[in-house]
Structure 1
Amino acid sequence: MNAYMTNGTYDFLTKLQEKYPKINFFYMSSGSSTLAYYEGQQKDVFAAGREYEAIETNGEVKQSGFIVMNNIPVTDDGTAMFEERFKQRQSELNKMPGFQAFRLLRPKKGNTYVVLTQWASENDFNNWKNSDSFKKQHQAGPTKPPAFFADKPFITSYHMIDPNKN
């Protein structure tokens, strides 16, 4: 499965739904920016978008909720090790209250992977972040980042915008 995303104004991005009625777009806001996201086997319809391969999925993305994206730049020779670490991890994410979806997205261009999680609410995400399960999964390792990190990871978060309510 592929995943696609792009940023723009809400008004501009929602016009895409008229142009591509068969695509199920998801819209989300970070306050100053709006992001459009969709997934499936379709082609990329964004003029200036980002394309990913979803190499691990759990749950279904919903029109409402809270999205957190951990953006992780990975070196070219570190991609296999990075992906293997994800496959080997013991995750209890889907057992957490409010969990909706998980995607590990491999970039088709560039080097920044996206670990996307969706929660019913920001509070559900914070409860997971403060849980023993999170601490176990994200145990502090060495003080320096893994060698396969090309740069410092960064987090982006969004509140879903339900176009049916606007």
Structure 2
Amino acid sequence: MNFYITYGTFGFLQQIQNKHEDRELLIFAGEGQAIILEETESATIFQQPNEYLVLSRLGHLSESDFQVLITIPTSEDHKYQLEKQLEMYQPELDDNSEYHSYRLLKSTHQNVYKVLLGFTSREAYEDYKKSSAFRNNLSLEATKPLAGAATVHTPYIEQYFYPSDDLSEE
């Protein structure tokens, strides 16, 4: 499964979504920018996407969910170990009714992994961050030993994206 991410203004991304109604394109609003996602077996319609392979997937992505996109960099030396550590983590969506989706993504062009988490709200995510599952598997502290920080230019980042429903009504 392939996963594509493109950033831009909400209006521009909405034009792409409207032009390709036959595709499942999901838009979310972030701080200063919006994001559009496509998960597909086929080629993307995006012109210059960030491309990823889906290594793990649970749940259904929904435009009505709050999304967290965690960027976890690594080095060539640590890539295999980090990937195995991340693949071992399989969240229990059934144990938390506010946790809706999970994707582990591997960049096709860089030594970077992304984790996309879907929750009912930011508060639900903040509660999840307090769990041992998050601390032991996805936190900066859990991934830092395999980050190869001295040679990596991309830092560990958490980006927050909100449902775009409110924006489309303006």
Residue aligning to 1:146: 145
What pairs with 1:22-41 in structure 2 (closer than 5 Å)? 22-41=22-41
TM-score by length of 1: 0.85
Question: Structure 1 CA distance, aligned partners of 2:160 and 2:38?
Answer: 17
The letter for the 1-side match of 2:158 is I
Cα-to-partner distance string for 1:123-146 (whole Å, 9 max, x where unaligned): 11111112354345468969x931
Preserved contact between residue 86 and residue 138 of structure 2 (Cα < 8 Å): no
Query: How far 1:68 moved relative to its partner?
Result: 0.7
What pairs with 1:113-132 in structure 2 (closer than 5 Å)? 113-132=113-132
Higher-helix-fraction structure? 2
Preserved contact between residue 93 and residue 100 of structure 2 (Cα < 8 Å): no
Specify the SS of the correspondent of 1:77: coil
Specify the SS of the correspondent of 1:76: coil
Residue aligning to 1:158: 161
Length, aligned pairs only: 165
Structure 2 unpaired stretches of 5+: none
What pairs with 1:1-166 in structure 2 (closer than 5 Å)? 1-89=1-89, 91-92=91-92, 94-137=94-137, 145-150=144-149, 151=152, 152-162=155-165, 166=169
Query: How far 1:82 moved relative to its partner?
Result: 1.1
Identity %: 24
Q: Which moved more, 1:47-56 or 1:12-21?
A: 12-21
Question: Structure 2 CA distance, aligned partners of 1:7 and 1:90?
Answer: 28
The letter for the 1-side match of 2:52 is Y
| CA distance 1:30–1:139, change in 2 (3 Å) | closer
Query: How far 1:80 moved relative to its partner?
Result: 1.5
Preserved contact between residue 75 and residue 147 of structure 2 (Cα < 8 Å): yes
| CA distance 1:164–1:11, change in 2 (3 Å) | closer
Query: How far 1:107 moved relative to its partner?
Result: 0.6
| CA distance 1:32–1:133, change in 2 (3 Å) | same
Query: How far 1:17 moved relative to its partner?
Result: 2.2
